[in-house]
Amino acid sequence: MFMNAATRKFMRRAGRGQMAIMLVLVTLLFLLIMIPVIEMFVRNESIWTVKERKNTVAFHLAEAGIDRAYWKLIEKEGNFQSITEGSAIPGYADDTEYGDIEGGVYKINMTVGDTNLKVQVIATGKDATSKEYRAIKAVFSKASVDAALQAPSISGAGNANVHWGPMMSLSAMNLAGGANELYPRKYARGAITAAGTYPDRDTDPNQPNKGPYTNDIKTEWWAYNEPPGVPDIMTPDTSYYMSLAVDQGNYYTDANYSENNLKDTVCTVGADPKVRFFEGNATFGGSKYFCGILIVMGNLTFNSGGAHPQGSVSVMPPDNAWDEYQLNVPVHSGAQKAGSMDAWTYEAAGDHAAGLCGGGPHGDTASKYEYPGDAGKGAVECYNFRCGNDINCDGDCNDADEGHLGGFASGKQLSFKGYVYAAGGFTGGAQTRIFGAVHVADGASFSGGGMDIFYDNTLNVRFLNNSIRRLSWHEVKPAEF
């Protein structure tokens, strides 16, 4: 159809008008759709803000519950012990709602932890305006025995060895002879020197003060109080233990005490540990075995070895005993490589049977029996000190695949099982073997030649400086109330 110029101009104007109308309609349609969405978002944002505020209030209430539980634990000595013995403290057994904090209420439940050395606390907070809950779980522990051996200074010679737990010195540590091994972990506030198989670990207070690796689990030593450092030696509650020893008939006031061939397999008296308390020096010799708590305010000496069958005891190593054997294991005792220790390779392919490591050291592997009680990489099983691994823990090692000594040429029964505190110094030798822990008081020293100490991480000792510390803290699913 023929259109003149005027008609074409009119049509162009009409098209532009239609497009403008279309844009207006699309904009209106968009607003009609989005306004309810925006309104819903604003409404939900308000709800979410209120809910978050309520959740935050509930969380702060749970935190207040954890704080209140901690202060209850330190209020008096017996509270922690009551919980670990299975008793309940009124108000702290999920039986009371506390409203001393503005905004809501909270409840506290304190129970024994996974061992009788821990207390578990679950505090649940509730916002007062709605059923909004938050809960926190914390685990507390008393300061405990952290090492197999802790002394102001340590000198180990002969075949003195520590197993299943670390050794700690408040000053220097000197290793010689069979004691100069790449296990266990070693902590000192001063130098760590050595003579024999392996060189000095550290004689320079300048960094680095741990090694041979500084950024790896394969760290054997920490010198010059390198973090985590060496804690102060805990002092047992001597008045408490003296009283127990008096009541049990095991309190000795003689300036010096000596006994040979002591044999006593009874480790408790009623609910209390059997305590032997000596004001002066004490010496134990001959074929012996006894257990419990041994406190000597003078010098303590262990001569000779343990007694059979009394000291032929089967025990479970600590679950993390393998931590002590990350550089080497007793089956490769004394293994060497050329060059500096920090350049050695501590692992090799295979199961590390004889010859596979080319004579070099290596840490715990999937192979069993590389150290006493070794059940494979990162695993332990029952061990009898006289006959070796005892899978059934029945004390005889006569069942299939039992009797492996974990690097020892022969078994050696225990002389003592329990906690030892020597205020004047401790000398152990001539086949002495202890399962437990040894503390030597500040100002004294430890010397062990031919002595073995196996760490027992389940010891429950009452200390004077018995501080309570928090081991863990995390949020858990709350139980409504």
pLDDT, averaged in runs of 10, over the chain (481 residues): 53 59 71 66 53 71 95 87 91 96 95 86 92 92 82 73 92 86 92 90 92 78 90 88 95 89 96 95 95 96 91 94 91 82 64 51 87 93 94 88 88 95 87 93 76 91 78 89 92
pTM over 0.75: no
- pLDDT of amino acid 341: 79
Residues 6 or more apart whose Cβ sits within 8 Å of residue 446? 149, 151, 153, 154, 155, 156, 425, 426, 427, 438, 440
Residues 6 or more apart whose Cβ sits within 8 Å of residue 420? 294, 300, 426, 434, 436, 437, 438, 439
Q: Which residue's entry shows tokens 């100490």?
A: 453
- pLDDT of amino acid 70: 93
- pLDDT of amino acid 152: 84
The candidate with the shortest Cα–Cα distance to 230, out of 150, 140, 159, 329, is 150
158 phi-psi bin (left φ>0, alpha ψ -120 to 50, beta other): left
- pLDDT of amino acid 50: 47
- pLDDT of amino acid 335: 83
Report the distance separating Cα 181 and Cα 377, nearest Å. Answer: 20
- pLDDT of amino acid 18: 66
- pLDDT of amino acid 17: 58
CA 175 to each of CA 68, 198, 210, 372, 432: distance values in angstroms, whole numbers, following the listed order:
47, 9, 16, 21, 18
Report the distance separating Cα 239 and Cα 77, nearest Å. Answer: 14
Report the distance separating Cα 276 and Cα 149, nearest Å. Answer: 20
